Amino acid sequence: MLLTVDDDPGVSRAVARDLRRRYGDSHRVVRAESGEQALEALQELKLRGGRVAAILADHRMPGLSGVEFLERAMDLFPRARRALLTAYADTDAAIRAINVVDVDHYLLKPWDPPEEKLYPVVDALLEAYAASGDHEVTETKLVGHRLSGPSHALRDFLARNQVPYRWYAADEPEGGRLLAAAGLGPDDVPVVVTPDGRALARPAPGDVAAAVGLSTAPAEDFYDLVIVGGGPAGLGAAVYGASEGLRTVLVEREATGGQAGQSSRIENYLGFPDGVSGAQLTDRARRQAAKFGAEVLTTREAVGLEARGPARLVRLDDGSAVAAHAVILATGVSYRRLGVPGEDAVCGAGLFYGSAAVEAPACRGQDVIVVGGANSAGQAAVFLSREAKSVTIAVRGAGLEASMSHYLIEQVRAIDNIAVRTGTVVCGVQGEDRLERVMLLDTATGTTEEVPCGLVFVFIGAAPRTDWLDGAVARDPRGFVLTGADLLVDGQRPAGWSMERDPYHLETSLPGVFVAGDVRSDSVKRVASAVGEGAMAVTLVHRYLERL
């Protein structure tokens, strides 16, 4: 943008006309007739991520003078070059402009002919601006505090949903400029600024999803197939269901990918000999599902399941419901919480559940603890070791062999700054505004050690997200969903079973409702098996629909 500000409408139009004649092909020329009006234009442009190359401001204007306006404009666009316009020589104004706003040029009116008096000055301004290295930011912008639970949650949400965004710390200059342009302050963060310039203060994930263009409401009243959960099993089912002609909708409460989507590197998945990150695998699967016509809803949580005659109804947390002929449950599992004193106070402020990829830059030069002994913990440790000073894997068992793949154990052993502490659990965390210390318990000796540490990543256990299914389908004592032959007791079908056949392999105690992936009782906790079960569940859905 080239911005000209003059309270005389005739002068304002004349300056803009001459600028457009010379620079209109490469710059957007905007004129304003007051400093206040110009500031509004600059604030809007700042939120949209645009750039201002040069500002030409009249010195003597009612309200904000030219120097006062340029001083406030600098707060928003410090790299914009600045020129002051005046009708006569004013030595005091020139000196003040140089001292206060570091004005680049002082121009006298009239500027005729512009080829001699105006364009050489503007050429110099644009040349100086080009050398400043300023860049346009068209992505979503997120302003927040570095170690803050709400800020971390939104960073994680945007990253896992593959929404391009730029992060700004609220206590750094550019973050402050964005907040000022939105009329907000540090107490209002986190703030999400959308590409069209809307600023959302402390928004809920659903508000962010709607603002950045993610689907949050179903497009149809009835589907052939509803899939609950967007991890590998759910995405696999969406790809196969939609590709085979089923009207398919996938409902995900946070972001597609599940735990696998948070993995920094998956090296044992078929077809990727060099490995693939969870985010890359998720992005490809989601695009593949969309290609075949599957609909994906984000930030919508399933809260109830019931049968309505031949239809199956999934109730959502916003009070709406999605109906279909069949349902596939692929809600996966979530990492168990530590359950130790001080946990809530530092969650998201140094203590993280998964999300190693999002917070990796904060690990540079730090001592980091990874809690857990399965593949997700090993993958995170390997990834974080590239930036961290040291990484300690704290595992409850006697070693990694019981739960971690052999190839990953070999990688961990080969990295010098990774240490493994066996027979060790976290029994406490401490800190005021952020994590500062971790209490480690040696399970063999019963001794406790206090370790200074500002970053802990937790990958322990598997808690199924199935409370909302209470009374709808049968579950095992740990909450995992029972299917197929596991539902038969002494050869008898489950109570209330309405079909003249036994449940199919992945079918629950409610006919037409199937399960795929980690949430199934006694499932294999691997990405490949989850994807395979998603595809198999679709085959069984077809078989179920044929016999309705």
pLDDT tens per residue, range 387-419: 899 999 999 999 999 889 999 999 999 999 999
User: Apex CA 239: angle with CA 235 and CA 241, to 5°?
Assistant: 110
Amino acid, single-letter form, for residue 339: G
Task: State residue 65 phi and psi, 5-degree precision.
Answer: -75, 170
Confidence of residue 97 (pLDDT cuts 50, 70, 90): low
Q: Which domains does the chain have, with CATH numbers?
A: 2-130 (3.40.50.2300), 140-211 (3.40.30.10), 222-334+491-546 (3.50.50.60), 343-458 (3.50.50.60)
Residue 99 has pLDDT above 80, yes or no: no
Mean pLDDT of the chain: 91
Residue 255 has pLDDT above 70, yes or no: yes
Provide the CB-side half-sphere exposure for 277 (13 A, CA). 15
> At which residue do the structure tokens 């597609």 appear?
256
Residue with more model confidence, 135 or 414: 414
Per DSSP (E only), the strands in 453-510 are: 455-458, 463-464
DSSP for residue 512? T
Torsional class of 135: left (φ above 0), alpha (ψ -120 to 50), beta (otherwise): beta
Q: Are 536 and 241 in contact (CB under 8 A)?
A: no
Q: What is the mean pLDDT of residues 126-155?
A: 88
Contacts of 414 (CB under 8 A, 6+ apart): none
Contacts of 40 (CB under 8 A, 6+ apart): none
Residue 23 has pLDDT above 70, yes or no: yes
CA-to-CA separations, 212 to 134, 196, 209, 541, in angstroms, rounded: 25, 9, 5, 33
Confidence of residue 461 (pLDDT cuts 50, 70, 90): confident
Q: What is the mean pLDDT of residues 12-41?
A: 94
Least confident of 17-26, 34-43, 172-181, 354-363: 354-363
Residues facing 333 on adjacent strands: 464
Confidence of residue 90 (pLDDT cuts 50, 70, 90): low
What the block records as the tokens of 391 is: 């990484």
Amino acid, single-letter form, for residue 466: T
Q: pLDDT value at position 39?
A: 95
Tell me the C-alpha distance between 158 and 208, whole Å: 9
CB-CB neighbours of 143 under 10 Å: 28
Tell me the C-alpha distance between 122 and 15, whole Å: 12
pLDDT above 70 covers a percentage of the chain that reads 97
Element (H, E) at 63: none
Q: Which of 269-273, 363-367, 483-487 has the highest average model confidence (pLDDT)? A: 483-487
Residue 262 has pLDDT above 70, yes or no: yes
Tell me the C-alpha distance between 22 and 287, whole Å: 44
**Nearest alpha-carbon partner for 16 in 27, 30, 28:** 30
Q: Which of 104-118, 127-141, 384-398 has the highest average model confidence (pLDDT)? A: 384-398
Tell me the C-alpha distance between 484 and 38, whole Å: 68
CA-based diameter of the chain, in Å? 102
Q: pLDDT value at position 162?
A: 84
**Nearest alpha-carbon partner for 258 in 337, 349, 354, 347:** 354
Q: pLDDT value at position 106?
A: 82
Q: pLDDT value at position 268?
A: 86
Provide the CB-side half-sphere exposure for 53 (13 A, CA). 19
Confidence of residue 356 (pLDDT cuts 50, 70, 90): low
Contacts of 206 (CB under 8 A, 6+ apart): 216, 299, 300, 318
What's the burial of 32, exposed, middle or buried (CB within 10 Å: 0-12/13-18/19+)?
A: buried
Q: What is the mean pLDDT of residues 1-30?
A: 94
Q: pLDDT value at position 511?
A: 97
Q: Are 399 and 485 in contact (CB under 8 A)?
A: no
DSSP 3-state of 86? strand
Q: Are 356 and 366 in contact (CB under 8 A)?
A: no
Q: How far apart are the first and last CA of the chain?
A: 63
Residue 73 has pLDDT above 80, yes or no: yes
Tell me the C-alpha distance between 476 and 464, whole Å: 11
Q: What is the mean pLDDT of residues 501-512?
A: 96
pLDDT above 90 covers a percentage of the chain that reads 73
Residue 25 has pLDDT above 90, yes or no: yes
Tell me the C-alpha distance between 146 and 169, whole Å: 6
Task: State residue 323 phi and psi, 5-degree precision.
Answer: -110, 150
Q: Are 541 and 514 in contact (CB under 8 A)?
A: yes
Q: Going edge to edge, which strands form the sheet with 191-193?
A: 165-169, 140-144, 191-193, 199-201
Report the relative pairing of strands 29-32 and 2-5 from DSSP bridges. parallel
